[in-house]
């Protein structure tokens, strides 16, 4: 790709992302902009400023070696231990946040115009810092969607909608045979995240993998069969979590005598029985597998199965991933087709693999992005949800959370 085409593509990607960010900001009610709705999260308004700060820091400051535009805002919107989440509530107004986003963006675009992308500087080389800023913005959009759900969960429900009829004709477990073989795992590209490097060969034994992610109907059968009450289905740590949290259904589910509902980012809606079950923690996924006589796939198995479809899926500007829909459409039943269905665009899928480095891993651009989370306590999820930007839904992309995290759009696709 020539330097001018690369610059044009980077600019277009940043602009696409920004359109989504500003649409999301419009959905944030004023009274929730500056409050922490949950112990895990900074206030939702902070995430918007943090997008601008990160872009400015890595492009303007690190790649070009220039001073920050505004030291105070740069500190306020930094994700640093010196700036704990409780400090992040003293935010500027919505208008000031929008203005900060526009100013930091202008710096990034001016820098792109001037930059020599063939420079050996690792921030500059091949446009790394700009693509990093783009991907980072997209990732925070998903977090913002998660927080919109929390906001709706906190608001009083006036009237529940009509529930869906609770039945399904999908077979279970509906396993697809994946043949043994070898493949190239990971992505060594100027744009890849540090945790996707280096590309390396992996061997995989034949196994079976569910055609689609586990559906809400299938999850409700686990619930009705005492899934949350039967100690023997849970690991020791998982059971301790289950008891402590008094969990009885996925996060954001609402169950009454009439049916099943879900607190989505646009308010309560009925759950479709065939939509992938979402907002599950790793411990719950593990218990479900034990109940069904199945297991979680490793991330090697997941990526191998996902890439059998062929390469060509790694174009950083043109990811063709089925299931791409509007920003807030929410999860829907998986579209029919040949082979494995709903690999991305519906829910992330938990794997059995702790988040760990590939051989040759080097933390970049900072330890806090990946390395600090490679601690044996985080597990990898793969695929990407309906709230994940298409460009991030590549088969090599690794996401990770602690096993108790269930506020994300997280589901599973079991193996045998």
Binding site for ligand AVJ (CB under 6 A): 136, 139-140, 143, 369, 399-400
- Least Å distance, CB 118 to ligand AVJ, is 28
Which residue has its beta carbon closest to ligand AVJ? Answer: 139
CB of 399 to ligand AVJ, least distance (A): 5
Q: Are 253 and 388 in contact (CB under 8 A)?
A: no
Shortest distance (Å) from residue 373 CB to ligand AVJ: 7
Q: Report which of 406, 276, 273, 385 is spatially closest to residue 327, judged by C-alpha positions.
A: 385
Distance CA 266, CA 29 (A): 11
C-beta of 239 vs 369, nearer to ligand AVJ: 369
Q: Which residues pair with 178 in a beta bridge?
A: 207
3-class DSSP assignment, residue 181: strand
Residue 316 CB partners (closer than 8 Å, separation 6+): 131, 189, 191, 391, 394
Indicate the residue among 58 and 262 with the shorter CB distance to ligand AVJ.
Answer: 58
Closer to ligand AVJ by Cβ: residue 52 or 259: 52
Least separation in angstroms between residue 400's CB and ligand AVJ is 6
Consecutive H or E run containing 136: helix 128-154
**Residue (187 or 207) nearer to ligand AVJ, CB:** 187
Cβ 140 to ligand AVJ, closest distance in Å? 6
> Whose Cβ is closer to ligand AVJ: residue 86's or residue 372's?
372
Closer residue to ligand AVJ, CB minimum distance, 58 or 217: 58
Q: Among residues 156, 165, 152, 151, which one has the least CA distance to residue 270? A: 165
- SS3 for 30-77 is HHHCCCCCCCCCCCHHHHHHHHHHHHHHHHHHHHCCCCCCCHHHHHHC
Please give the full DSSP string across 295-326, using - where no structure is assigned: BPPPHHHHHHHHHTT-S-TT-TT----TT---
Minimum CB distance to ligand AVJ, residue 109 (Å): 21
Q: In the structure encoding, which two tokens stand for residue 276, read together? A: 């992938």
């Amino acid at each position: 790709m020539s330097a001018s085409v690369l610059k044009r593509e980077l600019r277009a990607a940043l602009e696409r992302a920004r359109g989504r960010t500003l649409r999301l900001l419009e959905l944030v009610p004023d009274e929730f902009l500056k409050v922490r709705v949950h112990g895990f999260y900074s206030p939702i308004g902070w995430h918007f400023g943090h997008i601008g700060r990160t872009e400015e820091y890595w492009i303007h400051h690190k790649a070009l070696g220039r001073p920050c535009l505004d030291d105070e805002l740069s500190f306020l919107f930094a994700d640093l231990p010196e700036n704990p989440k409780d400090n992040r509530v003293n935010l500027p107004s919505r208008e000031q946040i929008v203005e900060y986003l526009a100013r930091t963006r202008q710096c990034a675009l001016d820098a792109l115009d001037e930059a020599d992308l063939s420079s050996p500087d690792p921030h500059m080389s091949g446009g790394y810092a700009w693509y990093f800023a783009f991907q980072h913005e997209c990732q925070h959009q998903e977090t913002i969607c998660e927080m919109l759900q929390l906001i709706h969960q906190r608001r009083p429900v006036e009237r529940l909608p009509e529930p869906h009829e609770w039945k399904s004709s999908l077979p279970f477990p509906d396993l697809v045979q994946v043949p043994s073989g070898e493949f190239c795992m990971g992505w060594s590209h100027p744009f890849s995240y540090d945790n996707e490097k280096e590309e390396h060969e992996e061997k995989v034994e034949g196994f079976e993998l569910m055609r689609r992610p586990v559906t809400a109907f299938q999850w409700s059968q686990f619930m009705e069969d005492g899934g949350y009450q039967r100690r023997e289905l849970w690991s020791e740590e998982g059971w301790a979590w289950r008891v402590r949290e008094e969990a009885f259904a996925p996060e954001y589910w609402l169950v009454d005598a009439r049916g099943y509902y879900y607190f989505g980012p646009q308010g309560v809606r009925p759950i479709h029985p065939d939509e992938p079950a979402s907002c599950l923690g790793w411990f719950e996924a593990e218990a479900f597998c034990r109940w069904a006589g199945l297991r979680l796939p490793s991330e090697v198995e997941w990526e191998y199965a996902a890439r059998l479809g062929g390469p060509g899926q790694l174009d950083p500007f043109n990811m063709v991933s089925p299931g791409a829909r509007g920003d807030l459409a929410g999860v829907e039943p998986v579209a029919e087709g040949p082979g494995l269905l709903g690999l991305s665009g519906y829910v992330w899928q938990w794997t059995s693999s702790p988040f760990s480095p590939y051989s040759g891993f080097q933390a970049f651009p900072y330890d806090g992005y990946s390395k600090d989370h490679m601690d044996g306590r985080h597990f990898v999820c793969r695929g990407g949800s309906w709230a994940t930007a298409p460009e991030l839904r590549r088969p090599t992309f690794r996401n990770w959370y602690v096993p108790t995290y269930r506020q994300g759009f997280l589901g599973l696709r079991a193996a045998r």
